[in-house]
Structure 1
Amino acid sequence: MADSTTSKAPSTGTAPRRSWWGWGAENKALSDAECSALGRLLPGAPNAPLPVPDVSALALPKVRVEPPTELAPLMSDAPRDRASHTYGKAYRDVVRALRGDLSAAPDQVARPRSEQDVVDILDWAAGAGVAVVPFGGGTSVVGGVEYRADRHRGVVSLDLTAMNQVLEIDRTSRAARIRAGVLGPALEAQLRPHGLTLRHFPQSFEYSTLGGWLATRAGGHYATLHTHIDDLVESLRVVTPVGVNQSLRVPGSGAGPSPDRLFLGSEGTLGVITEAWMRLQDRPRHKASATVVFDDIVSAMDAVRAIAQSGLHPANCRLLDPGEAALAGVAHKGESILVLGEESAHSPVEERLATLLALARDHGGTPAARESGGADTAANTWRSAFLKMPYLRDGLARMSVISETFETACTWDRAPQLYAAVRSGLTEILEEVTGAAGTINCRFTHVYPDGPAPYFTVIAPGRRGSEVAMWDEIKSAAMSLLHEHGATVTHHHAVGRDHRPGYDLQRPEPFALALRAAKQALDPAGILNAGVLLDPAGILNAGVLLDPAPSHDVDDRTVSVRSERRE
């Protein structure tokens, strides 16, 4: 018989207040002095950072809709709530928030406490012609939580973070039923007393929710095997405008197309994920890490391919190119660095790590010296830099420096060519857009037997007042390059609105027809996250058919994929 227990969500205590305009906690953001010091390292940066606006002084748009009396206790139109739910955390979001541009602010922020609250909010919104944007933790970097459709009478941001409990733990099957609004740290805190872990740690872990991970098919920190949240799902419970979808909880099924797969990655366009049964693991007790130095990036790629195809499935297998290694502070002489890690809940891992290091040596790698006790200084330095990087990005934004990250995946036969083509093509674009070659770095975040997931970072001088337009042009060019070289538009950041042009090129048209039909069937009033994945088509708004023949513009920016640049 399963050992079924219920956990209570831990108290938030005195957790630091979230930044309304940028990443993470307010008290971890770079100070004005730190931003200025950062700017002095970059030629052409302004002398002073953009000031952070006082949220109480912001000119927010007038509230257009009021909730009915029975829903009013769940809603807020307070300025800080509306401001902090306007955008995600992409570079263009941060810059617009710093400039006080909150024209897309939702009219209300809803915080349901139960599934019935979600049902009631969707029922009201469908009848009132009000758009609903599921928010999760708000860490989207692809425009996934910003309303741009301008086709509804109002907008509600649906924040599920009050629904944050682990409801049931099946220790025998090593699984748990979990509410979708739980943030990463609170989830792990509720599992820890049972010796269990979900083992899913995206970079946004501290500020993102289980529901957000599921809705965007998020990738975790672990680099091989179960890299995406998809692999950890037993079943989902989803509230749609036409009913509740509850899939059967089993370890596997061949009964037709998977109902869970319909909602995984649907990004809040088909329904609101309220609960999930998730596969858990015993918490690891044995860990070891090491770094390997390579003089040649192609040899390093060959080593990573050998490791990915070995069947050893290391927890960490991240390759940093020379620029990324220097940015992280783990190399300074043009070396590429491979960060390896092993872990187990049951047995020592040193022998497995030694096998991985031997594979790396076979391809020209030199393991770095490790401290007594097995600690690896370079690996720890990289990990610290990895967690601080979003705050550094915000500091660059305040100094009007363009900073963009994008990730992809390709097969191994294309990896060296893709790496070279992106660096070459983006150098040309940066010179055209910014007047400087800028910095283009890359790391492999995840690796598979058949290919890697390269993650690129672009830093270049911007022009104050033109940062968003410049970022948009670089983003468009990056999508073109990926499409031309047979790589996906996103490996784990999701589609949102910013990746729509690339997604439209990648998605087969028969599947697009099926997705449109699913949208019409599940969300006939067209209220859920309009413009994500699909154009709003034939939205029935309080009995009035709006936009029966919509244009194919992605949003107000009308971003186009600029393949002509490469011709």
Structure 2
Amino acid sequence: MTDSTTLSRRAPRRFWGWGQADASLDTREQATVKTMVEQLEVPYTERAVPQVHEFTLPSPRVAAPKALVSVFSATPLDRLNHCVGKSYADLARMWLRAPPTPPDWVAFPDDEQAVVDILDWAQAHNVAVIPYGGGSSVCGGVEAAVGDSYAGVVSLDLERLNRVLEVDPISRAARIQAGALGPQLQAQLKPHGLTLRHFPQSFEFSTLGGWIVTRAGGHYATQHTHIDDFVESTRLVTPNGILQTRRLPGSGAGPAPDRWVLGSEGTLGVLTEAWVRLQEPPCFRVSASVRFTDYFAAARCVRALAQSGLNPTNCRLLDPMETVFSGVGDGRFAILVLGFESSDHPLQAWMARALDLVRDHGGTFDADAVARSLAAQGGDEHRSGAAGAWRDAFLRMPYWRDPAVGLGLIMDTFETAITWDRFEAFYASVKADVGAAIKRATGQEALLSCRLTHVYPDGPAPYFTLAARGGADGSVASALSAWRDIKQAANAAVIAHGGTITHHHAVGRDHRSGYEREVPALFRQMLAAAKQVADPQGIMNPGVLLDPVARQVGHSGILAPSFSGSDVKAAAPCKTPT
């Protein structure tokens, strides 16, 4: 076994929270968290964070393969960092010093051949394999609790596969290894004058491969919003061979194989690299902060913007309570954060037309501030005011959650998408249902807010944030129990009122109950059949999306799925009408 300090190329991360191990809140952020906590009538005190020595982990159940022992680690820190992701439930269990079953080993392959060798070994020894990128999953996507039908579990961390391998400047595309974190691929593309321009909130701690297999959403609100829009071809190592798709700008040749890779969440194989479309970095920017007294009038303004063809890069609508969570308002107004970017042309005409639509819907803004935000050749004036404050809060918010979890508070989010014709009723119904669930679970009125993170001509992606006291005793355990009921209610609400179970946070284990209602049963059978071909022994990320056929997969008890892939049978043949 090799010590993790020689294996890892990344700075140590918090196994119990978000980000780097040495991360801390500044004085202003501490004040923000204190205010949020005290709004819920909980005293703000600092609690001792979990330490590795407080955890007793079981010994590995299987021996590491002799030929690969140099890339395997069983150090407590590596195992703790790889047993869960970064959901509220994941962090709460760490604060309780009661994580689910850790992986027996963490593997850090040096190259694709090592990935192949690990899968071959795992198949031969009945070992489950959990592909791991940055570990930022908030839906149970990398959990190592897979039940007793496997001899062991390996978390396969791709952090060493982190290079930009090839750049095609003519087509503006690059071949990049799947383990490259956002800053790593950005830094390697910069000398070529190009960028992927995909910036999820987890950008610093998530990988290209993770984005692709979870169909991640980026920061930009319109046009190229999902990683799907950038994928040109993929390379997937499966237990049954390598699936390499052809690099093309587009094709009408039958069902696209890349569509099986996108969103596969490690259930079919390990994504090792992909060709992705690139762009020139923007050098022209402009932003505006718009206030509305009527939230639904603001939503109708956003719809007009989404359907205008202007394609703003930022078009986030924060309801009044969300402005409080984000630290950009006092709860009296809805705020629209609006922005445009271009690498080719000035943007005055685009913003001018957008502000015409804003006026038409009753929005107000500071014209001088908009003029000051105009930036060319890399200026940062667009980051001033509410737009800049929101951006800063957006990136730092995961850090604010960590101490709140330790105080026994529930702070979580869930997101969905719905068509415009149903949005207003959907917004009211989901808030009512989830608010009632929070009251039942905690006995307290909820702080529940919403922002529109992405908008399309036919509908928005509402992103809800909730904060509540976990229970009468103020313990993390009671908060986790209450969260379980709230999460199930949120899953049920977004599906019952016509939305998707997830817009960009993936399915994992926590969203399976909704996914099984959203996706037709026949498609689930098709997916189960594809998994049997690619992964005949059912070793790849069992329990995520579906259970392998003929396997009894263990679940952590956080959220139990309602449907088991073990129940999938071959689809009945279609009968010709007589």
TM-score normalised to structure 2 length: 0.90
State the shift of 1:370 in Å.
Answer: 4.3
| Contact kept in structure 2, 1:403 and 1:459, CA below 8 Å | yes
State the shift of 1:558 in Å.
Answer: 5.3
The aligned counterpart of 1:293 is: 291
SS at 2:488 equivalent: helix
| Contact kept in structure 1, 2:9 and 2:159, CA below 8 Å | no
Change in CA separation of 1:264 and 1:490 when aligned onto 2, cut-off 3 Å: same
| More displaced stretch, 26-35 vs 504-513 | 26-35
| Contact kept in structure 2, 1:214 and 1:229, CA below 8 Å | yes
State the shift of 1:458 in Å.
Answer: 0.6
| Contact kept in structure 2, 1:293 and 1:368, CA below 8 Å | no
The aligned counterpart of 1:240 is: 238
Change in CA separation of 1:450 and 1:433 when aligned onto 2, cut-off 3 Å: same
| Contact kept in structure 2, 1:444 and 1:454, CA below 8 Å | yes
SS at 2:185 equivalent: helix
State the shift of 1:16 in Å.
Answer: 5.4
Change in CA separation of 1:555 and 1:79 when aligned onto 2, cut-off 3 Å: closer
State the shift of 1:69 in Å.
Answer: 1.1
Counterpart residue identity of residue 465, structure 2:
T
| Inter-partner Cα distance in structure 1 for 2:13 and 2:119 | 27
SS at 2:155 equivalent: strand
State the shift of 1:445 in Å.
Answer: 0.3
| Contact kept in structure 2, 1:293 and 1:365, CA below 8 Å | yes
Residue 411 (1) aligns with residue 419 (2) = yes
Residue 27 (1) aligns with residue 25 (2) = no
| Contact kept in structure 2, 1:267 and 1:496, CA below 8 Å | yes
Change in CA separation of 1:434 and 1:333 when aligned onto 2, cut-off 3 Å: closer
State the shift of 1:34 in Å.
Answer: 4.0
**Which runs of no fewer than 5 residues in structure 2 stay unpaired?**
1-6, 374-380, 563-578
Residue 382 (1) aligns with residue 395 (2) = no
The aligned counterpart of 1:308 is: 306
| Contact kept in structure 2, 1:126 and 1:527, CA below 8 Å | yes
CA offset digits 1:19-57 (Å, max 9, x no partner): 121101233344999498457614443664442122133
SS at 1:235 equivalent: strand
SS at 1:28 equivalent: coil
The aligned counterpart of 2:433 is: 425
| More displaced stretch, 311-320 vs 48-57 | 48-57
| Inter-partner Cα distance in structure 2 for 1:424 and 1:68 | 53
The aligned counterpart of 1:85 is: 82
State the shift of 1:329 in Å.
Answer: 2.1
The aligned counterpart of 1:497 is: 509
State the shift of 1:380 in Å.
Answer: 0.5
| Contact kept in structure 2, 1:60 and 1:103, CA below 8 Å | no
| Inter-partner Cα distance in structure 2 for 1:13 and 1:86 | 17
| Contact kept in structure 2, 1:133 and 1:155, CA below 8 Å | yes
Residue 41 (1) aligns with residue 38 (2) = yes
Aligned with 1:275 (options 270, 273, 276): 273
| Contact kept in structure 2, 1:63 and 1:77, CA below 8 Å | yes
| Inter-partner Cα distance in structure 1 for 2:48 and 2:296 | 43
| Inter-partner Cα distance in structure 1 for 2:173 and 2:37 | 51
Counting only pairs closer than 5 Å after superposition, residues 481-496 of structure 1 correspond to structure 2 as: 481-496=493-508
Counting only pairs closer than 5 Å after superposition, residues 19-418 of structure 1 correspond to structure 2 as: 19-30=14-25, 34=30, 37=34, 41-45=38-42, 48-150=45-147, 151-371=149-369, 373-374=372-373, 375=381, 376-418=384-426
| Inter-partner Cα distance in structure 2 for 1:192 and 1:183 | 14
Instruction: Report percent identity of matched pairs.
Output: 52
Counterpart residue identity of residue 453, structure 2:
T
| Contact kept in structure 2, 1:45 and 1:462, CA below 8 Å | no
| Contact kept in structure 2, 1:370 and 1:377, CA below 8 Å | no
Counterpart residue identity of residue 436, structure 1:
Q
SS at 1:414 equivalent: helix
| Contact kept in structure 2, 1:82 and 1:105, CA below 8 Å | yes
| More displaced stretch, 386-395 vs 489-498 | 386-395
Counting only pairs closer than 5 Å after superposition, residues 525-544 of structure 1 correspond to structure 2 as: 525-539=537-551
The aligned counterpart of 2:486 is: 474
State the shift of 1:467 in Å.
Answer: 1.8
| Contact kept in structure 1, 2:448 and 2:464, CA below 8 Å | yes
**Which runs of no fewer than 5 residues in structure 1 stay unpaired?**
1-11, 540-546, 562-567
| Inter-partner Cα distance in structure 2 for 1:47 and 1:315 | 37
| Inter-partner Cα distance in structure 1 for 2:76 and 2:170 | 47
| Inter-partner Cα distance in structure 2 for 1:357 and 1:155 | 55
State the shift of 1:147 in Å.
Answer: 2.2
Counting only pairs closer than 5 Å after superposition, residues 546-565 of structure 1 correspond to structure 2 as: 547=552, 556-557=557-558, 559=560
What is the root-mean-square deviation in Å for CA atoms of aligned residues?
A: 2.1
SS at 2:291 equivalent: strand
CA offset digits 1:52-93 (Å, max 9, x no partner): 122133111221112111110110001110011111000110
| More displaced stretch, 466-475 vs 273-282 | 466-475
SS at 2:67 equivalent: coil
| Contact kept in structure 2, 1:61 and 1:102, CA below 8 Å | no
| Inter-partner Cα distance in structure 1 for 2:456 and 2:63 | 50
Across the two proteins, how many residue pairs are aligned to each other? Answer: 539
